Amino acid sequence: MSASHHDPLSHPEVQLASGRGYVANFLVTTLLMGFGLWLSVTHAVAPLTLVAVTSGIAAVAVGVQAYLLLHMNLSEAQIWHTVAMILFLPLFVVTIGLTAWMFHGLYARTMIMSPHIGAFLHR
Amino acid sequence: MGRLSLRQIPYQNPILVGTFVFALILGAAIVGLVTYHKRWGVLWREWLTTVDHKKIGVMYCLIGLVMLFRGFIDALMIRTQQAIAVGPHSPGYLGALHGYLTPFHAGQIFTAHGLIMVVFAATPLLVGLMNIIVPLQIGARDMAYPYLNALGLWLTAAGAALVMVSLFIGNFAHGGWYGFVPYFELPYSPGVGVDYWLWAFQLSVLGTTLGSINLIATIVKMRAPGMTWMRMPIFTWASLSANLIALTTFPVLMVCLALLASDRYFGTHFYTAGMGGNLMLYNDLFWVWGHPEVYFLILPAFGMMSEIVPTFSEKTLFGYATMVIASFAIGGVSWGVWLHHFFTMAAAPSVNSFYSVTTMLVGIPTGVKVFNWIFTMYRGRVRFELPMMWAVLSLFLLLVGGLTGMMNAFATNDYMWHNGVFVVAHFHLMVLLIAASIFGSVEYWFPKVFGFKLEARWGKAFFWCIVLGTGWVFIPMFLLGFAGMTRRLDYIPYTQWGPYLRVMLVGMGFYILAVAFFFMHLYVSLRDRAKNRVGADAWGTSRSLEWMTHSPVPAYNFAFVPQVHARDEWAWRKEQGVADLKSGPYRDIHMPGNTGVPFVLGALALALAFALTWRIWWLSGLALALCVAVVIVRAFAEDTDTVISAQDVERAERRYHDGEVVPMEEPMGRPTPRPAT
Ligand code: HEM
Ligand SMILES: [Cu+2]
């Protein structure tokens, strides 16, 4: 409805675009995820450490993408990305939390192998 | 050709050959008709390449209806099989020991039935209706991302097509619509059936996720001036809540299925028994999506009821604010109840109790809604026209379905009847409620989209046959549930269940009649359309913004973007006597331009999914590369919009005022003249 309607290049989110940022984002996140994959296929660290380390890597990757790819900030044009991200956090915590709570009781009650034992057998 | 060979064509199966012949005749008839009437050009220019939200919505609904029909045939086969194959002395036909379906075939049918009805019938119908109505209700000219909208449509179409292809090439999964691990892992299900299921599901997930982004962005950003949050029609609110659920949970399903695909294709072991895999993780991830999904389906249905009931009670909706809160409360609670689908998996008692309680909490906002509808009708001038009849039926189905849901919510009860037909009867009433609301809103909004009302005689016959069919099928099913019958049986070991199963066939008879009456309903309505022409306000007592513009809605929706003054804007304008006011001279209208790219991408996605199913690697690579190339090429397109000139708008508006019918597919607008740079 504003003037920017007719000139796509003046849209604020288009103004934020940066080829260098995108390439950097691609390289960094690919490296991070590749590292996580390598850790898990080679069983380089103990299972519980692995969970912690890969989660940490994932968090860093999310941060990098939020900054370099989505350009999250509080400006009028970008605030929806930021709000969506923040609204999503409690959901994430609830889903993972409730799942972990269930598995916590489940291993004791079923014959399923805990990730511990499974990983050791595989090695 | 990967695993594909001529031996995969099931020509020994007379049922499938019959279906194939039927499909062939139908396809030939359609191609013939289009050619005879020289409509290929129109079909391509005005439908297949359109980005108009109304046409996309209509096409979504058509896909939904076709798949509803297919799913119904599946249901018919399950019911007849179970009525015949009772006891060791029951006859067997067509190579089956009992009944006429081998266990393998019966399994494919109930799996396809479930998947089709949930993701390829109900979902497209609802998404289609939201697509058509939401932009009109908020006074927008189109969706926020028209191109993405078309892409969502064609991805969904590709998914539906893949399920259909599995009928004639190879076979479908046969272990139930939501899948089981490790049963769906490669060593236990080595065939292509699970792969068909997997990729069809995945395509629909992608399409629905894109659609939800679009609807959310549209509602948040595209509202007409004055359309504040608390003036939004309830259907729009319900759509917002539903699509927030979709956006937050469909990606979980995508991951869940991707991990299964990774197990099947790369030999990883996310869900294997042993080797560090965890088969219970599949259930967890699937239902993290699965339960919110059912609310994704029911919230728009609630929204539809909330539009229909006030119109035919000639009153404003009772308890608007509580209705909004209830929609979001249902959405919110839906994220925390998923474990009730596997109470019997042996989680700790504290965990099961927690989920029992959260599940029952859903009853509170749902109850609020029910009372709101009842109080809307109370002391209203209730007119039982077709949309209202469907809405009232929905209300009854909600009561029975909701109460039986509450019974399931007690983990202690559920231990006794989980995976029994009691559960099946519960969710069928819920899903039938959704279907009833959909039929109600098709009756309700049809005149808006096409400019004429559907006739009432056959429509009523259709309605009553659905009522009778539902009673005759599902009351016996509840009784069998109490008797302990488990679900998905292709052979009934207890002969005392036989009578109930045969009684259900009476219900199926009513459903068959209903389908016939539905076609008559459409045919007679189409034949007599001149008689049933209506203007903008088809029902005379409607209240929201979509009834302000012409019927059928012009390509640009509103000649002037409306200024909104009240919650029920259209009712407000009628009361103030300003319903006919026009503001100022017409202006050029800037609209998105048609493009064939989404259609091409849909076709390529179908090729990719088919190739992955059959493990034809060169074709997978080719289709994927082409997808990427097409997206890149499209990114450089400059002519992506058109302008409908002020004169064109004026001419169209004059024709509407003269009572002329402007057909939906009449072209309007021309490419924007390239701005001088
Ligand atoms: C008051 C609300 C509801 C409650 C308390 C409720 C409760 C439940 C419970 C506890 C189950 C699991 C039973 C079992 O597997 O043993 C279940 C299954 C199911 N419900 Fe509901 N439900 C409610 C509303 C709905 C709605 C609105 C829908 C659909 C639109 C729905 C569709 C389903 C489906 C599809 C299943 C079974 C899925 C399957 O196993 O294939 N329910 N419900
Ligand atoms: Cu559920």
Q: What is the pLDDT, as a whole number, of residue B665?
A: 65
Q: What is the pLDDT, as a whole number, of residue A112?
A: 62
Q: What is the pLDDT, as a whole number, of residue B276?
A: 77
- H helix or E strand, kind and range, residue B28: helix B14-36
> B425: CA distance to ligand 1 center in Å?
10
Chain A CB contacts of B220 under 8 Å are: 80
Q: Which residues in B have their CB inside 8 Å of a CB on A?
A: 220, 248, 252, 273-280, 284, 288, 335-336, 339, 345-348, 350-351, 590, 675
User: pLDDT tens for residues B226-272?
Assistant: 999 999 999 999 999 999 999 999 999 999 999 999 999 999 989 98
Q: What is the pLDDT, as a whole number, of residue B116?
A: 97
pLDDT confidence bin for A79, thresholds 50/70/90? confident
> Are the C-beta atoms of B436 and B463 separated by less than 8 Å?
no
Q: What is the pLDDT, as a whole number, of residue B447?
A: 95
Q: What is the pLDDT, as a whole number, of residue A85?
A: 87
CB contact under 8 A, B336 and A98: yes
Tell me which fold the domain B1-82+112-277 belongs to: Cytochrome C Oxidase; Chain A (1.20.210)
Measure in Å the smallest separation between the Cα of B346 and chain A Cα atoms. Answer: 6
Residue carrying the six token digits 């689908």 = B341
Q: If we measure between CA atoms, which residue out of B459, B268, B426 comes closest to residue B359?
A: B426
CB pairs under 8 A between A and B: 59
Q: Which residues contact B319 (CB under 8 A, 6 or more apart)?
A: B368, B371, B372, B375
Q: What is the pLDDT, as a whole number, of residue B39?
A: 86
> Are the C-beta atoms of B134 and B60 separated by less than 8 Å?
no
Closest C-alpha residue for ligand 1 atom 9:
B408
Measure in Å the smallest separation between the Cα of B253 and chain A Cα atoms. Answer: 13
- Select the residue of B220, B275, B346 nearest A109 (Cβ to Cβ): B346
> B322: CA distance to ligand 2 center in Å?
23
Does the beta carbon of B131 lie inside 6 Å of ligand 1? no
Q: What is the pLDDT, as a whole number, of residue A111?
A: 65
- Select the residue of B279, B347, B590 nearest A102 (Cβ to Cβ): B347
CA A42 to chain CA mean position, Å: 22
Q: What is the pLDDT, as a whole number, of residue B676?
A: 44
Pocket residue to mutate for ligand 1, from B286, B327, B341, most atoms within 8 A of Cβ? B341
Q: If we measure between CA atoms, which residue out of B14, B25, B171, B56 comes closest to residue B555?
A: B56
> Are the C-beta atoms of B182 and B279 separated by less than 8 Å?
yes
CB contact under 8 A, A6 and B590: yes
User: pLDDT tens for residues A3-17?
Assistant: 445 677 778 777 888
Chain B CB contacts of A77 under 8 Å are: none
Could you give the CA distance from residue B75 to residue B454 in angstroms, rounded to a whole number?
Answer: 27
Q: Which residues in A have their CB inside 8 Å of a CB on B?
A: 5-7, 80, 88, 91, 94-95, 98-99, 101-106, 108-110, 112-113, 115, 118-119, 121-122
Measure in Å the smallest separation between the Cα of A70 and chain B Cα atoms. Answer: 15
> In degrees to the nearest 10, what's the CA dihedral of B278, B283, B284, B288?
150
Q: What is the pLDDT, as a whole number, of residue B641?
A: 84
Q: If we measure between CA atoms, which residue out of B273, B288, B64 comes closest to residue B188?
A: B273
Could you give the CA distance from residue B192 to residue B125 in angstroms, rounded to a whole number?
Answer: 28
CB contact under 8 A, B248 and A91: yes
Could you give the CA distance from residue B416 to residue B367 in angstroms, rounded to a whole number?
Answer: 27
- Per-residue pLDDT at A115 exceeds 60: no
The proportion of chain A whose per-residue pLDDT surpasses 90, expressed as a percent, equals 37
Chain B CB contacts of A82 under 8 Å are: none
- Select the residue of A6, A99, A113 nearest B284 (Cβ to Cβ): A99
Q: If we measure between CA atoms, which residue out of B123, B154, B373 comes closest to residue B243?
A: B123
Q: What is the pLDDT, as a whole number, of residue A2?
A: 42
Residue carrying the six token digits 């609670």 = B333
> B326: CA distance to ligand 2 center in Å?
18
Listed as ranges, residues in chain B with pLDDT below 50 are 672-677
User: pLDDT tens for residues B170-216?
Assistant: 999 999 999 998 999 999 999 999 999 999 999 999 999 999 999 99
C-alpha distances out from residue A57 to B269, B501, B671, Å = 21, 56, 48
Establish how many alpha carbons lie within 13 A of residue B444's alpha carbon, considering only the half-sphere containing its beta carbon. Answer: 32
Does the beta carbon of B298 lie inside 6 Å of ligand 1? yes
Domain boundaries, chain B: 1-82+112-277, 314-535, 553-595+637-677
Q: What is the pLDDT, as a whole number, of residue B668?
A: 66
> B204: CA distance to ligand 2 center in Å?
20
What's B314-535's CATH class? mainly alpha
CB contact under 8 A, B590 and A119: no
Does the beta carbon of B406 lie inside 6 Å of ligand 1? yes
Asked whether the whole model's pTM tops 0.90, one would answer yes
Please name the residue ranges forming H helices in A1-123.
Answer: 12-16, 19-42, 47-64, 79-109, 115-122
Closest C-alpha residue for ligand 1 atom 7:
B405
Q: What is the pLDDT, as a whole number, of residue B677?
A: 41
Helices B386-409 + B279-313 axis angle, to 10: 150
CB contact under 8 A, B345 and A106: yes
Q: Which amino acid type is present at position B179?
A: G
Q: What is the pLDDT, as a whole number, of residue A18?
A: 83
